[in-house]
Amino acid sequence: MDGVVIKLVITDCDGVLTDNGVYYDASGEVLKRFSIRDGMGVERLRVHEVETAIISGEASPSLRARAAKLKISEQHLGVRDKVAVLDDLCARKGLDPSQVAYIGDDVNDVPIMRRVGLSGCPGDATDFARDAADVVCVARGGHGAFREFAEAVLAHNGTTTNHYEEDHTP
C-alpha cells in the first residue's frame, strides 16, 4: 500500500490501549489503566490530520472517559463485527479501506486487519494478530504500543517531524 496516505487510524481497546488487565473499585466498577504516551500518539495523529477511532468488543465507562479526554468522537463499543463498522466508517467518511490503519491484539481483530491498508499489533499480541500485522510493535499493549503504531503511520505518510503545536499532554 505504498503511496496511499492513511487518513484514519482505528484501534481496539483491551490489549492495545490497555494491558488487558482490569481493576475493580469498591462498588464493583471496572477500571482500566491507560498510557499517557498513547494519548500523545492520538494528538500527534490529529496534528497531522489523521483521525483516530475506537472499535472495541467491550464497552466500559473508563474507556468512554478516556476516549472523551482524547477527543475521539468515533467510539464503537460492544461491537462484534468490526469489519461492518469499518465499512460504515469508510462509507460515511468517503474513504477506501486502503486509507485506514488498524491496530489490534487478538484473533477477533484479524478480519479487519486484513481489510485495511496498514495493520499493526502490540509486541505482546497473540500469534494470530502478529501473523496478520504489517507492523509488530516492540511496546506492549497499554505501554505505548498505540504511540509506536501512530509513529509508524506518520512515517508511512511521509511525516518525520516531531513538531507539536499545543502545550498540553492529553
Indicate if the alpha-carbon torsion angle 21, 123, 131, 152 is positive or negative. Answer: positive
**Grid cell listed for 57:** 468488543
Instruction: Supply the pLDDT for residue 72.
Output: 96
Distance, in Å, from the CA atom of 10 to the CA atom of 39, rounded to the nearest integer, reads 14
Instruction: Supply the pLDDT for residue 166.
Output: 46
Instruction: Supply the pLDDT for residue 3.
Output: 81
Instruction: Supply the pLDDT for residue 2.
Output: 63
Q: Which residues of the chain have pLDDT under 70?
A: 1-2, 160-170
Q: How far apart are the first and last CA of the chain?
A: 30
Instruction: Supply the pLDDT for residue 118.
Output: 98
Q: Which residues touch 5 (CB under 8 Å, ≥6 apart)?
A: 99, 157
43-86: pLDDT as tens digits = 999 999 999 999 999 888 889 999 999 999 999 999 999 999 99
In order, the DSSP letters of 41-89 are HHHHHHHTT-EEEEEES---HHHHHHHHHTT--EEEES-S-HHHHHHHH
With respect to CATH, is domain 8-156 assigned 3.40.50.1000?
Answer: yes
Show me where the domains of the chain are located. Answer: 8-156
Q: Any idea how long the chain is?
A: 170
